[in-house]
């Protein structure tokens, strides 16, 4: 794999306190293990007691494992209150957890009645970001890292397959009744819902950088990562269509060789977490160059992901829906 060098990283003798979602498996776990090897102090967010028990079997002694179900905003809010009570700085916030359930014909809903993909991938992470920003800004070298995807861009390889990402006028966040799609379309499409959630990740990062110019914000795409294990990111899609997902994984990973390995993607995430480059918003993409080879480089986001007006509107509407859900 060809790697474009990142800017200077934080000295390894400077211990960082890093909070990571989605670190109990997949690329998040690999990144967490690499960061632990560097002596950094981690707080790993697990969605269930079972996942937490599994994590406790491999984490380092100075790593803390906490519980929060990202499909339940109340659970996320309670975690934030617990973390804030410790009154300590947070050097890095790594919003890495993700959910996709392609193959389902009907929407699934979060505890507060939001479509599950946008609830987990976007709303829960915006709540974490809003609540934990004061802790992050106390650090002398803060950074925000968000795992997005190239599929946010309709011009990308993955973005061209199926209905493209587009948030429209965000009317799906304006309704008082549950909306299956963020653009207000009543026809649910699980694949598009995922693409839209990744576009939300990009816009959230863009607006966070605007609100806090001193904060380095990195969104990134790991490429298409299809692990051989049954858990992790594709767990829901495999339940809906086990044979189809197995065939897709075999063709993409083993025949066409267009996927990235879990280990390599996790290494890239660990690199980004320790980077202390320029402030502002940047997007790194692990671009497929040819079968079996990727190039990791700074990339221009899609035009919609660069829309600062839409980014502010998404942030504001999301905050309003989060606040209403938590007060209801």
In DSSP notation, 184-210 reads --SS--HHHHHHHHHHHHHHHHHHHHH
Q: Is residue 310 helix, strand or coil? A: helix
123 secondary structure, DSSP code = I
Q: Is the pLDDT of residue 5 over 50?
A: no
Q: How far apart are CA 217 and CA 143, in angstroms?
A: 6
* Angle of CA points 17, 18, 19, to nearest 5°: 130
Look at the pTM and tell me if it is higher than 0.75. Answer: yes
Residue 113 φ/ψ region, left for φ over 0, alpha for ψ in the -120 to 50 degree band, beta for the rest: left
Q: How far apart are CA 291 and CA 113, in angstroms?
A: 41
Determine the pLDDT at residue 128: 98
Task: List the domains of the chain with CATH numbers.
Answer: 2-327 (3.40.50.720)
Half-sphere exposure of 153 (CA within 13 A, CB side): 19
Mean pLDDT to the nearest integer, 85-105: 92
In 22-113, at which residue ranges do the beta strands (DSSP E only) sit? 41-46, 64-67, 92-95
Determine the pLDDT at residue 227: 80
14 secondary structure, DSSP code = S
Please list the helix, strand and coil fractions of the chain in percent, rounded to the nearest 5, in that order. Answer: 45, 15, 40
Average pLDDT taken over every residue of the chain = 91
What is the number of residues in the chain?
A: 328
| Closest-CA residue to 279 (of 220, 208, 221) | 208
Question: Which range is least confidently modeled, 46-50, 97-101, 170-174, 241-245?
Answer: 241-245
Mean pLDDT to the nearest integer, 148-165: 95
Question: Which range is least confidently modeled, 120-129, 229-238, 280-289?
Answer: 229-238
Q: Max alpha carbon distance in the chain (Å)?
A: 53
Q: How far apart are CA 32 and CA 87, in angstroms?
A: 23
Catalytic residue from among 4, 101, 104, 194? 194
Is residue 101 part of the annotated active site? The answer reads: no
Tokens 């859900």 belong to: 325
């Amino acid at each position: 794999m060809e790697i474009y060098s990142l800017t200077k990283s934080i000295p390894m003798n400077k211990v960082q306190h890093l909070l990571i979602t989605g670190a109990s498996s997949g690329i998040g776990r690999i990144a967490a293990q690499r960061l632990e090897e560097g002596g950094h102090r981690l707080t790993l967010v697990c969605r269930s007691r079972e996942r937490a028990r599994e994590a406790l079997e491999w984490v380092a002694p100075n790593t803390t494992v906490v519980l929060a179900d990202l499909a339940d905003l109340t659970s996320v809010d309670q975690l934030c209150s617990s973390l804030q009570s410790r009154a300590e700085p947070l050097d890095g916030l790594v919003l890495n957890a993700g959910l996709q359930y392609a193959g389902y014909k009907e929407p699934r809903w979060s505890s507060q009645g939001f479509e599950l993909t946008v609830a987990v991938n976007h709303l829960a992470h915006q709540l974490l970001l809003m609540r934990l920003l004061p802790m992050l800004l106390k650090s002398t070298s803060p950074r925000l890292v968000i795992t997005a995807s190239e599929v946010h861009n309709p011009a990308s390889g993955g973005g061209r397959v199926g209905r493209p990402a587009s948030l429209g006028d965000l009317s799906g966040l304006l309704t008082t009744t549950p909306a299956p799609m963020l653009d207000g379309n009543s026809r649910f499409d699980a694949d598009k819902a995922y693409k839209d959630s990744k576009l939300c990740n990009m816009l959230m990062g863009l607006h966070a950088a605007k609100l806090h110019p001193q904060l380095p914000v990195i969104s990134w795409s790991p490429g298409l990562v299809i692990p051989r294990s049954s858990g992790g990111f594709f767990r829901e899609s495999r339940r809906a269509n086990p044979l189809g997902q197995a065939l897709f994984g075999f063709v993409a990973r083993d025949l066409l060789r267009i996927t990235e390995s879990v280990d390599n993607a996790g290494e890239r995430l660990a690199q980004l977490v320790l980077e202390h480059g320029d402030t502002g918003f940047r997007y790194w993409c692990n671009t497929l160059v040819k079968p079996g080879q990727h190039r990791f480089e700074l990339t221009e986001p899609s035009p919609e992901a660069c829309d600062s007006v839409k980014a502010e509107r998404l942030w504001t509407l999301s905050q309003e829906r989060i606040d209403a859900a938590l007060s209801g």
